[in-house]
Structure 1
Amino acid sequence: MELTSSTWTELAEVETDLAVLPVGSTEQHGPHAPLGTDTLNAEAVAEAAAERHADPVVVAPAIPVAVAEEHRRFTGTLWTDESTFRAYVRDVVNSLAAHGWDRVVLVNGHGGNVAALGEVAARIVRHDDAYAAPFTWFDEVDAEVNMGHGGPLETSLLEHANPETVREDRLDEAAAGASDRWGDWQGRVNLAVDSHEFTENGVVGDPREGSAALGEELLDEAADALVALLDAVAERDPRPTAE
């Protein structure tokens, strides 16, 4: 059940301890995809998994501003520092737990959030009356094309789940100004701090390699992986006693 579209009385009748918290970002994704790409994709995966799960799953409203300073030179990008982000995620999880939804999967759509989500999930498990596990949707799919940024995977999921947001007439422009890979590398060291240092228009990869059909496959695969994780979270003893 989605929190934002439900009444409190409806939610009070839901018997579950499972929740998903979509976590995205507001950052550039080239000339063809919206700044809300990561949030929209995280929401799509979270909602699909909640619908498929055998037991009720509460879907919290997405966190739309996160760790994205690496895109600061592109207009419209918003960001917060990691400590603020971790504190906010922790507060939201504890709010959910206060209503009995104390097993929460953090459904992530932005690579820049991964480290911070891992840290805050561990902090929640160790110190709070809740259990949290991070889940990044694009780590759970097996695609023949590279992830990139505003590339074929993210664009494909948008084309399937939110097709009206993709500027199809700008795909050629997006590909023309894209970088082949993330970063500016010397050996195994990335010399670039921000994305504008290596990509002209913010894109990494060729979004023309994607499609709505691929997006449907990605959504199925990611949602199934999330359902399996929810099952594991539901069965897990959050604080096993050491022998």
Structure 2
Amino acid sequence: MDLAARTWTDLAECETRLALLPVGSTEQHGPHAPLGTDHLAAAAVAETAADAHDEEVVVAPTVPVGVSEEHRAFAGTLWVGEDTFRAYVGDVVESLAHHGFDHVVVVNGHGGNVAALREVCGRLTRDDVAYTLPFTWFDGVTSDLPMGHAGARETALLRHVVPDLVREERVEDAREEAADRWGEWVAGVNLAYDTDEFSPNGVVGDPDAGDAEAGEVLLDEAATALCELLAAMADR
């Protein structure tokens, strides 16, 4: 159930306690993928899981800006600090709980949000505001496609979900200047704080290694994993 598309009277009659809150980012994803990649992916996984789940699930509007300052060198990237992000997500979950949706999974599409989400979801749960769990879609799949950044997994999912937003004519350029790994590591320490220090075009990995068919499999796997999480949450 898309919360934003319903009326308040629809929601007042809704008996489910389950809700999904998609969160992502608005940040560079190379020359070929849209700035909204992470929040578009999170929303697609949340909506697919809600449609597939055997109980009704409310899907809240997506939080589109996250903890993304590491991409600040690239035009169009937006970010907030971790404190702001945690406070915003916490307030949205609290408002969901106020209306009875007190079992919430925050469906995440951005790696930079992970640490902040773990903290805020734990606090909301311990404070009895709502039983809240973080779910990062690309950690919930078993695909052999490497994650990277704007690499195989993300590009494959985009090719399935929003193919018109992938600039296919730029994929080869994205491949040529992509970094092989995230960061510049010495003695287990990443020397780089910002993406442009190790990737001139912001890409990590091969974006052309995943096609639309692989993206469909990724979406199905992520949605299935999320449904399993919702079922486990409902049983607690």
Q: CA deviation at 1:62?
A: 0.5
Give structure 1 regions of 4+ aligned residues with deviation exceeding 4 angstroms.
none
- In structure 1, the partner of 2:120 is 120
- In structure 2, the partner of 1:241 is none
Please say if 1:150 is aligned against 2:150.
yes
Letter in 1 for 2:123: R
- In structure 1, the partner of 2:86 is 86
Asked if the contact 1:94–1:128 (Cα under 8 Å) also holds between the matched residues in 2, the reply is no
User: How do residues 216-227 of structure 1 correspond to structure 2 at under 5 angstroms?
Assistant: 216-227=216-227
Counterparts of 2:200 and 2:129, CA distance in 1: 46
Counterparts of 1:52 and 1:143, CA distance in 2: 20
Asked if the contact 1:19–1:105 (Cα under 8 Å) also holds between the matched residues in 2, the reply is yes
- In structure 1, the partner of 2:64 is 64
Could you give the per-residue CA deviations for residues 141-180 of structure 1, whole angstroms, max 9, x where no partner exists? Answer: 1122210000010011111111111111110011111100
Counterparts of 1:144 and 1:58, CA distance in 2: 31
- In structure 2, the partner of 1:17 is 17
Letter in 2 for 1:153: R
Q: Aligned pairs, how many? A: 236
User: How do residues 20-169 of structure 1 correspond to structure 2 at under 5 angstroms?
Assistant: 20-169=20-169
Q: CA deviation at 1:37?
A: 0.1
Asked if the contact 1:109–1:138 (Cα under 8 Å) also holds between the matched residues in 2, the reply is yes
Letter in 2 for 1:141: V
Determine what percentage of the aligned residue pairs are the same residue. 64
In structure 1, the residue corresponding to 2:100 is in which secondary structure?
A: coil
Could you give the per-residue CA deviations for residues 193-230 of structure 1, whole angstroms, max 9, x where no partner exists? Answer: 00000001000001010100000000010000000000
Counterparts of 2:154 and 2:94, CA distance in 1: 30
Letter in 2 for 1:36: G
- TM-score, with length taken from structure 2: 0.98
- In structure 2, the partner of 1:7 is 7
Asked if the contact 1:18–1:57 (Cα under 8 Å) also holds between the matched residues in 2, the reply is yes
Could you give the per-residue CA deviations for residues 85-127 of structure 1, whole angstroms, max 9, x where no partner exists? Answer: 0000000000000110010000000000000000000100111
Q: CA deviation at 1:67?
A: 0.4
Counterparts of 2:202 and 2:150, CA distance in 1: 8
Asked if the contact 1:27–1:76 (Cα under 8 Å) also holds between the matched residues in 2, the reply is yes
- In structure 2, the partner of 1:239 is none
Range 113-122 or range 123-132, more displaced: 123-132
Gaps of 5+ in 1: 237-243
Asked if the contact 1:103–1:131 (Cα under 8 Å) also holds between the matched residues in 2, the reply is yes
Q: CA deviation at 1:189?
A: 1.3
Gaps of 5+ in 2: none
In structure 1, the residue corresponding to 2:22 is in which secondary structure?
A: strand
- In structure 1, the partner of 2:228 is 228
Letter in 1 for 2:177: G
